[in-house]
Every structure is written in structure tokens, then in C-alpha cells.
Amino acid sequence: MIRIPYLVIALAGALFAAGARAEPPVDVARARQIATQHACFGCHAVDKKLVGPAWRDVAARYAGKPGAAATLVAHIQNGSSGSWGAVPMPPNAISAGDAQTVVQWILAGNKTE
């Protein structure tokens, strides 16, 4: 009988579980379309601060934080203030699914393709 060390089994299980929770690929074209439709680019740019923070800065601040996507979706839908300075972000009439698509794109580094 072959004995497999517990650590190997635990590591294999952790890797399998991590793979099962992997995020689906980002639909860049759709995310950009939604952001354009909802005038997000009027206040945000990918790589520089406009009225609001650059999306690369948002991605860096929220990288690896539990619940980051849900927090950002709530900020988009409900508005927020004080997170990035004195200028408040107004609420946006956007569905949760569309907001999630944009947030997924932002957190993935807002690639253009």
C-alpha cells in the first residue's frame, strides 16, 4: 500500500478548490460598452485621475480584499463619498449584473482587449 502524506492531499484539495472558484474570463468589450453607456468615462479613466480615481488605482486598492467586488458594485449603484476624497460619487441606475461586469473588469486590471 502506498501512503500519501497528509500535506500532499491537503495541498491538492486546496488547489482544486481554488481552481473551482476561479473567476470567469472578463468580457472586456462588454464591460467597456456598459461603462460607456452609463457615462463612467466622464469621471473615470483607466490610467489617470479625472473627477474620480483612475480604475488602475481602484484595482490596486481593492486587490485581494475579501468582498471587494460587492463593495464596488454597491458604490456604483448607491453612490459613495469619502472613499477617494471630497468629491462624492453619485448613484448610477445600473443593474447589479452590469455593475458586476464593470467591477470584474476594473479588478482584473482594466485591460483594453
Check the annotation: does 40 bind a ligand.
Answer: yes
Check the annotation: does 75 bind a ligand.
Answer: no
State the first-to-last Cα distance of the chain, in angstroms, to the nearest integer: 51
23-56 pLDDT, tens digit per residue, is 568 899 999 999 999 999 999 999 999 999 999 9
Q: DSSP secondary-structure letter at 83?
A: S
pLDDT at 24: 66
CA distances from 41 to 6, 18, 48, 61, 88 (A): 51, 33, 11, 19, 16
| 25-107: CATH topology | Cytochrome Bc1 Complex; Chain D, domain 2 (1.10.760)
Q: What residue segments make up the domains of the chain, in order of their start?
A: 25-107
Helical residues (DSSP H) of 1-113, grouped into ranges: 6-20, 28-37, 55-62, 68-78, 96-107
Check the annotation: does 89 bind a ligand.
Answer: yes
pLDDT at 111: 65
